[in-house]
């Protein structure tokens, strides 16, 4: 097979299988469709890895207008995110096989679940601004039905909020295309940026304003303040496996877009040291602190995890916007750590809801006696996200703190590490009480009424695999080396 054609497979396989799952009558039978979904996810994982490592290969799909074409071109950033997307989607898909039995409209869910993965991989494999933007919008539309799935009043409200925030952010992101066509040399992703110095001279103020709007707009998908409100609204309403990919993976579409805008379009040299960098860093720190504080006081478990995502994804944005090697390494480490841990936490929450119906943190006292394996998985993922040394979460925050201190940016250089520390303490404050009360309910607890409520293997296998991945980060060297390699490609 032609190497360039292989770039299409990670996008086409889940998209085609999603359409088949939703429209072909024979696949509307639950067992047949579930086999199709699992086969599609496994094939997509293999295709994504093969396509991501086709070095120096690009595929031009369609020319829309002069200077605007649909183009796929993998690089180091693609490889990192393709791995995260395909592995986490597979874990959530395995979990869905059992979990979705208590939900209606299962064929519709499977259809959009698979097609969303195809669109998300399209964002990762995009070789230029136009392609990334189109897949970004397509991914929003395809993931919307997962938020709307239950069709309750709250779900519809959450879906509308998700759509409005996403479209508002993407509209701001769209602004960059005409300006880069006018002041840049190409819309293809070029390390270092595409701005033409001769055309840029005298128009720096205008382009900085455009860059600010574009980065903030794409940051909406990553939950950056003040465009974060869709996250705590959408996650509690979506089915748990959909919440897992929304939080652990789809938010990373905003991260990918910010990487491309900062390092491949406007360029680090153009943005570094400007008001744009300072203001966006300040917003990222505000988001980190605010998200952690909101999670700390939230009583609904899935909503608590959603506010946690608001905070944790801005760790990644903070490192990207510091624009130095240590901070970038921390950002890419946190991409891996957050995806593993947060997918695991949401799936654990889903298993608890599925087996007990309990949704509030206050109802989880003693849950470790009923579902010990599930709560152990929750514990390991929590420790990774908190950053207990020497797990991956600690290493990512360490690199972010060092990157902040090395930046030399007034106030930000010392305020960054302080807020990272406060946020880590708040993260422990909203995750560890679930573990402690779950395993140690106290003397007044009625032990006699306990029954084992562990979910079956289809739900436990992805929980255990994600927990083992989280535990493996106690040897962070492989993750650190990968993050350093991707960071070096941007510098």
Report, as an integer, the average pLDDT of 425-436: 93
For residue 428, tell me if it sits in a domain.
yes
HEC letters along 297-359: HCCEHHHHHHHHHHHHHHHHHHHHHHCCHHHHHHHHHHHHHHHHHHHHHHHHHHHHHHHHCCC
pLDDT for res 489: 86
pLDDT for res 4: 67
Task: Please report, rounded to a whole number, the percentage of residues in the chain having pLDDT higher than 90.
Answer: 59
Confidence of residue 274 (pLDDT cuts 50, 70, 90): very high
Q: Tens digits of per-residue pLDDT, 71-125?
A: 898 889 999 999 999 999 999 999 988 888 877 778 888 899 999 999 999 999 9
* Strands in 163-273 per DSSP E: none
Residue 51 pLDDT greater than 70, yes or no = yes
Q: Residues 427, 337: contact at Cβ < 8 Å?
A: no
For residue 405, tell me if it sits in a domain.
yes
State how many domains the chain has.
1
Q: Residues 251, 220: contact at Cβ < 8 Å?
A: no
Give, to the nearest 10 degrees, the angle between helix 251-259 and helix 106-125.
Answer: 10
Report, as an integer, the average pLDDT of 337-343: 93
The predicted model scores a pTM of: 0.93
Confidence of residue 448 (pLDDT cuts 50, 70, 90): low
Report, as an integer, the average pLDDT of 154-169: 89
Confidence of residue 28 (pLDDT cuts 50, 70, 90): low
For residue 175, tell me if it sits in a domain.
no
Confidence of residue 480 (pLDDT cuts 50, 70, 90): confident
Residues 6 or more apart whose CB falls under 8 angstroms from that of 89 comprise 14, 41, 44, 113, 117, 120, 245, 249
Task: Please report, rounded to a whole number, the percentage of residues in the chain having pLDDT higher than 70.
Answer: 96
Task: Count the Cβ atoms, other than its own, within 10 Å of residue 191.
Answer: 14
**Can you name the residues that pair with 184 across neighbouring β-strands?**
195
Instruction: Give the whole-angstrom CA distance, residue 80 versus residue 336.
Output: 8
Give, to the nearest 10 degrees, the angle between helix 325-356 and helix 301-322.
Answer: 170
For residue 398, tell me if it sits in a domain.
yes
**Can you name the residues that pair with 355 across neighbouring β-strands?**
none
* Average pLDDT over the chain, rounded to an integer: 89
Instruction: Give the whole-angstrom CA distance, residue 8 versus residue 42.
Output: 16
pLDDT for res 130: 93
Instruction: Give the whole-angstrom CA distance, residue 422 versus residue 292.
Output: 9
pLDDT for res 129: 95
For residue 186, tell me if it sits in a domain.
no
Report, as an integer, the average pLDDT of 469-478: 82
Question: CA angle at residue 74 from 69 to 75, to 5 degrees?
Answer: 125
Report, as an integer, the average pLDDT of 303-315: 93
Residues 6 or more apart whose CB falls under 8 angstroms from that of 422 comprise 289, 292
**Helix (H/G/I), strand (E/B), else coil: 450:** coil
Give the structural domain span for 298: 272-491
Instruction: Give the whole-angstrom CA distance, residue 351 versus residue 444.
Output: 26
Which of 238-247, 366-375, 413-422 has maximum average pLDDT? 413-422
For residue 466, tell me if it sits in a domain.
yes
Q: Tens digits of per-residue pLDDT, 225-236?
A: 888 888 888 888
DSSP characters over 252-292: HHHHHHHHIIIIIIS-HHHHTTSHHHHHHHHHHHHHHHHHH
Residue 433 pLDDT greater than 80, yes or no = yes
For residue 221, tell me if it sits in a domain.
no
pLDDT for res 249: 92
pLDDT for res 209: 95
pLDDT for res 184: 92
Q: What is the DSSP letter of 224?
A: -
DSSP characters over 118-172: HHHHHHHHB-BHHHHHHHHHHHHHHHHHHHSTT--HHHHHHHHHHHHHHHHHHHH
Residue 138 pLDDT greater than 90, yes or no = yes
For residue 468, tell me if it sits in a domain.
yes
- Torsions phi, psi for 221 (to 5 deg): -65, -25
């Amino acid at each position: 097979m032609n190497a360039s054609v292989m770039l299409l497979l990670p996008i086409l396989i889940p998209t085609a299988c999603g359409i088949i799952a939703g429209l072909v009558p024979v696949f509307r039978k639950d067992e047949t469709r579930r086999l199709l979904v699992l086969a599609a996810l496994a094939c997509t994982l293999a295709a994504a890895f093969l396509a991501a490592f086709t070095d120096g290969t690009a595929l031009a799909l369609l020319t829309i207008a002069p200077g605007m074409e649909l183009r796929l071109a993998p690089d180091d950033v693609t490889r990192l995110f393709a791995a995260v997307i395909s592995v986490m989607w597979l874990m959530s898909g395995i979990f869905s096989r059992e979990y979705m039995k208590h939900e209606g409209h299962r064929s519709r869910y499977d259809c959009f679940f698979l097609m969303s993965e195809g669109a998300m991989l399209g964002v990762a494999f995009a070789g230029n601004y136009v392609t990334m933007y189109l897949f970004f919008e397509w991914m929003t539309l395809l993931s919307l039905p997962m938020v709307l799935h239950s069709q309750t009043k709250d779900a519809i409200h959450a879906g509308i909020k998700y759509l409005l925030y996403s479209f508002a952010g993407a509209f701001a992101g769209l602004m960059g295309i005409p300006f880069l066509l006018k002041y840049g040399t190409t819309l293809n992703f070029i390390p270092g940026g595409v701005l033409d110095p001769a055309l840029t001279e005298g128009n720096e103020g205008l382009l900085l304003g455009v860059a600010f709007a574009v980065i903030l707009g794409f940051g909406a998908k990553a939950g950056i303040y003040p465009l974060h409100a869709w996250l705590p609204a959408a996650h509690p309403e979506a089915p748990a496996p959909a919440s897992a990919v929304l939080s652990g993976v789809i938010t990373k579409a905003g991260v990918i877009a910010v990487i491309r805008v900062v390092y491949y379009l406007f360029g680090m040299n153009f943005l570094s040291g400007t008001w744009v960098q300072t203001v966006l860093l300040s917003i990222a720190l505000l988001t980190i602190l605010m998200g952690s504080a909101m999670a700390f006081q939230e009583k609904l478990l899935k909503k608590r995890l959603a506010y946690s995502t608001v905070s944790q994804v801005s760790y990644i944005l903070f490192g990207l916007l510091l624009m130095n090697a240590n901070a970038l390494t921390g950002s890419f480490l946190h991409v891996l750590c957050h995806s593993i841990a947060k997918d695991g936490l949401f799936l654990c929450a889903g298993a608890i809801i599925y087996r007990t119906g309990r949704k509030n943190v206050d109802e989880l006292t003693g849950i470790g006696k009923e579902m010990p394996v599930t709560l152990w998985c929750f514990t390991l993922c929590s420790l990774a996200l908190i950053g207990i040394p020497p797990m991956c979460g600690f290493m990512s925050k360490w690199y972010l703190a060092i990157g902040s201190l090395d930046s030399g940016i007034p106030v930000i250089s010392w305020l960054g590490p302080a807020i990272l520390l406060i946020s880590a303490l708040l993260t422990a404050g909203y995750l560890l009480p679930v573990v402690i009360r779950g395993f140690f309910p106290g003397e007044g607890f009625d032990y006699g009424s306990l029954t084992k409520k562990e979910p079956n293997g289809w739900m436990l296998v992805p929980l255990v695999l994600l927990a083992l991945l989280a535990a493996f980060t106690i040897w962070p060297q492989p993750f650190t080396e990968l993050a350093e390699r991707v960071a070096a490609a941007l510098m």
